[in-house]
Amino acid sequence: MNAVHCHQIEKSFGTGETQVKVLRGVDFTAERGEMTFLVGPSGCGKTTLISIIAGLLGSDSGKVSLFGESLAELSARDQILFRRRHLGFVFQQYNLLPSLTAAENAAVPLLAAGMNRKAAVKKASDLLGVLGVGHRADAAPRLLSGGQQQRVALARALVHEPRLIICDEPTAALDHKSGESVMELLSSSAVHPDRAVVVVTHDNRVFHFAHRIAHMDDGIITHTETNTASTPSH
Amino acid sequence: MIALALKMLRHDGAKFLTMVLAVALAAFLTQNQASFLVAFLGMTGSQIRDVREANLWVMEPDTECFDQAKPLKETAVQTVRGFPGVEWALPFLKVDTTARTESGKLSTITLIGVPEQSRIGEPAMKLGDASGIYQRDSAVIDPGGMALLYPGRKFQPGMKIRVHDEWLELRGVSEASPPFTGFPIVHVSQATAMRLNREETRSTTFVVGRLSAGADAAEVTERIRKATGWKALTRKEFEATSWKFYSDQGVPNLFYITITVGLIVGIAFTGQTFLMFVKENARAFTTLKVLGFTHPQLAAMMAAQSCLVVVLGLSIGTAMVVATTELAKTLPFFRGLYLPWEVTAVCCGIIGVVTVLAAGLSFRQVLQLQPADVFRS
């Protein structure tokens, strides 16, 4: 069973003459234990596709299933609960809450699930230690470098042990060295036999981390290549 | 989750402070003005309450309040005494006249005559002895009167006031309840009051009395009304009539305006600032949505945020009201001020509920946030 399976996904925005068809029948899969890159020029539909995969946006037609479960068949509340339990996110701009410490930010998915605050922050702090920013657990995001912030965001994506991690341009706001470092961390800590990682990126300097690369253009996946020389993750 | 919400709120210090101060301002203005209004209108019944022994007041039908009374004929006391259910009845004489001190300071005063035999209506004393009332050419004055006629001076035996052409020696300072009019309350013996009553030929402003134990107040007062055509009221009814009379004069309107302005300003500021807080934190709320926070969870977070603002604002505002009321009470004319718990409960209740509802309107913004927008940089 694929971790992510998209079949003939179509999506348009607007109506009438202003309607824009962003996805034109996308077929996409991501496997467990692999890091799958989704690459392509700006406006080709990458972000729309991952929004649909994550259940943040509905498709006009086609079918999306995550680990065999069709999100469209779940109620709105169950979609949220599914996302909370099984998905982790890494954003381009980190999206850390400025009022919280690094550890509290990393603990947010656990707090959403109702875990006791102290236990959640402890678990998040431990994970920050594994990711090399344990010494900044009590720092506010504004006091962290871009690389450190992205590590905190990575901890937030991993802390509840999701089965799918979706990363949107995780290195776009970082210099090459920091980007490389974050991708190494992502590769070593996120890729897991029972977990899939989908990364949207423009940054061809980090393509060597991918197990598979799906090229997208004008609303369709043009071709998928397997990267046999991908950086080992385990 | 709640701790997270409160941290988000406290992080935006300027908005947090603005909201708390807006609620505090609303709480202060509404409670301050409402308590002043209640206290001032309560003062319309001060001299009625001060005759503690009486629970029946009989007066001319045109009389609408204690301060504007048309006297009854002299036989009225005997008439009232004749009704079944009336334990006792006495004439009560109140004279509005002018007094001046040795230094020439002038003021309108309310002169109250206390019957020598029964001493009904005798005031409690702050300084001196009430028995001084019954000495020849003597009087006791209330603290407001002292402040008005002898500004900056403390009571000393031998101080005098002149009413018409007679000098009355002040024998003490009473604890007469503050009157609505603000005029000095001067207690004298009934004989002295009758002698100084030059404005009226009649010397029975009211008949005060007491209902017999077990008598039906409504029945007795109705019987007096029907038989005499006079107005017969229980103490509470007379207090309420005086309260209504002054309320109808437009006195409270200024208070109502300030209370309304306080409510509007406080709630508008808080609501608007909360809306700005939500808009500026839209990215954070969107992220929380994407990370699995449900709408009820987000609503609970915002409720916690607004409750913190409300609790802090109301506490500060109420503390300010208590402080200003206690400070004002040290002034003789404001000695009747107090903050009724009902005023605090109603004002805080209204402000609290409306502020939380205003925050609830901001929650609509959160509902409208699109999770997919989280990927927009």
In order along its 234 residues, chain A shows pLDDT tens digits of 788 999 999 999 988 888 899 999 999 999 998 999 999 988 899 999 999 999 989 899 999 999 988 888 888 889 999 999 999 999 888 899 999 999 999 999 999 999 999 999 999 999 999 888 899 999 999 999 988 998 999 999 999 999 999 999 888 877 888 888 888 888 887 788 888 999 999 888 888 899 999 999 999 999 999 876 665 444
pTM for the predicted model, two decimal places: 0.77
| Separation between Cα atoms, residue B165 and residue B194, nearest integer Å | 14
C-alpha to C-alpha distance for B5 and B363, rounded to whole angstroms: 13
Among A10-14, A200-204, B217-221, B344-348, name the one with the lowest average pLDDT.
Answer: A200-204
Q: What is the pLDDT of residue A234?
A: 43
CA atoms of A189 and B325, how far apart (whole Å): 64
Helix (H) or strand (E) holding B195: helix B190-196
DSSP per-residue codes, B32-81? HHHHHHHHHHHHTTHHHHH-TT--EEEE-TT--SSSS-PPBPTTHHHHHH
Burial class (CB in 10 A: 0-12, 13-18, 19+), B244: middle
Chain A contact present for B375, CB below 8 A: yes
Nearest residue to B215 via CA among B50, B83, B82: B83
Cβ within 8 Å, pair A108-B3: no
The angle that helices B251-280 and B341-368 make with each other, rounded to 10 degrees, is: 30
The CATH number of domain A4-13+21-226, selected from 3.90.226.10, 3.30.465.10, 2.40.50.140, 3.40.50.300: 3.40.50.300
Determine which of B35-39, B197-201, B225-229 has the lowest per-residue pLDDT on average: B197-201
The beta-carbon neighbor of A168 closest among B7, B370, B375 is: B375
| A99 and B CB contact within 8 Å | yes
DSSP helix, strand, coil percent of chain B (3-state; round to 5): 55, 20, 30
Task: Look at A99 and B3 and tell me if their CB atoms are within 8 Å.
Answer: no
Give the span between the Cα atoms of A228 and A15, in whole angstroms.
43
Is the distance from CB of B178 to CB of B335 less than 8 angstroms?
Answer: yes
d(CA A125, CA A106) in angstroms, rounded, equals 8
Per DSSP, the three-state class of A69 is strand
Q: Which of A57, A95, A104 sits opposite B4 (nearest CB)?
A: A104
Residues in chain A within 8 Å Cβ distance of B8 = 97, 99-100
Mean pLDDT, residues B295-324 taken together: 92
Q: Distance, in angstroms, between A31 CA and closest chain B CA?
A: 22
Q: A28: buried, middle or exposed (CB in 10 Å: 19+, 13-18, 0-12)? A: buried
Number of C-beta neighbours around residue A201 at 10 A: 25
* ipTM score over 0.85, yes or no: yes
Query: What mean pLDDT comes out for the span B57-85?
Result: 91
Q: Is B291 on the interface with A (CB under 8 A)?
A: yes
What stretch of H or E contains B365? helix B341-368
How far apart CA A104 and CA A125 sit, in angstroms, is 8
**CA B113 – CA B95 distance, rounded (Å):** 8
- And the tokens for A69? 């479960």
pLDDT band for position B141 (cuts 50, 70, 90): very high
Q: Nearest to residue A221, comparing CAs of A2, A40, A51?
A: A40
Give the C-alpha distances (Å, rounded to integers) separating B151 from B105, B125, B178.
10, 20, 17
Query: What is the pairing mode between strands B106-114 and B185-189?
Result: parallel
Number of other CB atoms surrounding residue A18 within 10 Å: 7
Nearest to A186 by CA among A207, A175, A170: A170
pLDDT confidence of residue A149: 92
Domain residue ranges of chain A, discontinuous segments joined by +: 4-13+21-226
